[in-house]
Amino acid sequence: MIRFDSAWPYSRLRRELAENPRTWLVTGAAGFVGSTLVEELLSLGQTVVGLDNFSTGYQENLDDVLGSAGDAARGFRLIRGDIRDLDTCREACKGVDYVLHEAALGSVPRSIDDPLTSNSVNVDGFLNVLVAAHEAGVQRVVYASSCAVYGDSSSFPLTEESTGRLLSPYAATKLSNEVYAGVFQSTYGFQVVGLRYFNVFGPRQDPNGAYAAVIPRWIANLRDGERCEIFGDGESSRDFCYVANVAQANFLAAVTPRSGGESAVYNVACGRETTLNELFRMIRLGLAGHEPSIAAERPVYGPDRRGDIRRSMADIARIRRELQYEPTHTTAQGLGQTVEWYVRRSRGANVFMETRSAAVA
């Protein structure tokens, strides 16, 4: 349980939301970030509409959230649909105050393999959400952008102004989102805020499939006795950000008053660099506390992966200054909670992992 300082703006925001509930649309609600946002909103007594086509999300994620929400679960309504359908987006936006747009096809490798589908979901779908939200009189849309828009920028740490040459179709779709957000802000005066996520991780993140994120995949591999593969020499770095920090950024971005006619975009991260070798050691240490034999595991190293960058770390000065964002979890703290979650789930019911495997197959 996070303890919030009563003087912290985020603490005041949470109290204000609990006292004056709003109606929120969370697209991609069955994904791991989306389900976390639903969970946090319901805990604050909000009314939440979830939209998901379950192409990469899971019903069990929502079941997990709703099963622990108690009476607050009655404030949730699910629409099974695709953001590529404008009428579905229009239905989802009816009566909504804020939109938190998480629905997308993530993964750099996926976009390299299939750029057309990534563009259809991430660009066409995003435009549908903007159109529907504007028509419905939504107060503000907060959308998930990505650190992938920095491409091969040589700046370090990465500031919001330092984008470079894009390295993947996925990065191109996210930069397109930012362009459209700016157009809707300047043309229609519609409030749109982008959040450039840096390597988000946490409970309910999918460990299976060809495009699984590194942290849940390594946790699953180590627990299953399989070797973890590191692309390159392991000294590539990322700014790994626990999902609770992302939820905070979304809520602050949605309701913090803004002035000026331009759309805003913010880095969402911890502002710290962690190499893949360091990440592997932290995960191994956490799991070894439950299964001592894991302490002897070593990774295997493979060739560098297309579209990957060498180093990545965010400058989070802007979001701290303008939204009063402050990470509640370091990478190590978030990894500790994430490892504990996966261990509890696997011990409680192996069906959890089996169900995920079946869903991806």
Question: C-alpha angle with apex 127: 245 to 117, nearest 5 degrees?
Answer: 85
Provide the pLDDT confidence category of residue 211 given band limits of 50, 70 and 90: low
Region 226-254: what's the mean pLDDT?
Answer: 96
- pLDDT of 346 reads 81
* DSSP-derived secondary structure letter, 199: S
Of 134-143, 228-237, 246-255, 347-356, the least confident: 347-356
pLDDT at position 358 is 29
DSSP string for 137-165: T-SEEEEEEEGGGGTT---SSBPTT----
Count of beta carbons in the 10 Å neighbourhood of residue 244: 19
Place of tokens 């976390």: 36
Mean pLDDT, the chain, as a whole number? 91
* Residue 170 is a catalytic residue: yes
Residue 192: which of 229, 144, 234 has the closest Cα?
144
Residue with tokens 């995920």: 356
Element (H, E) at 27: strand 23-27
Q: Residue 278: what are its φ and ψ, rounded to 5°?
A: -65, -40
pLDDT band at 8 (very low <50, low <70, confident <90, very high): low
- Supply the Cα-derived Rg of the chain in whole angstroms: 19
Which pLDDT belongs to residue 7?
52
Of the two residues 187 and 207, the one the predictor is more confident about is: 187
d(CA 160, CA 147): 9
Three-state secondary structure call for residue 271: coil
**pLDDT value of residue 144:** 98
- Domains of the chain are 1-198+243-271+313-328 (3.40.50.720), 200-238+274-310+330-361 (3.90.25.10)
DSSP state of 314: B
pLDDT digits (tens, 9 = 90+) for 260-291: 667 799 999 999 999 999 999 999 999 999 99
**What is the spatial distance between Cα 277 and Cα 285, in angstroms, rounded to a whole number?**
12
pLDDT score recorded for residue 4: 45
Q: Which residue is catalytic, options 170, 242, 325, 342?
A: 170
d(CA 253, CA 141): 9
Asked if pLDDT for residue 6 goes beyond 80, the answer is no
Model confidence pLDDT, tens digit, residues 92-108: 999 999 999 999 998 88
What are the structure tokens assigned to 166, written together? 């894009």
Would you say residue 348 has pLDDT above 80?
A: no
pLDDT digit string (tens) for 300-322?
999 998 767 788 899 999 999 99
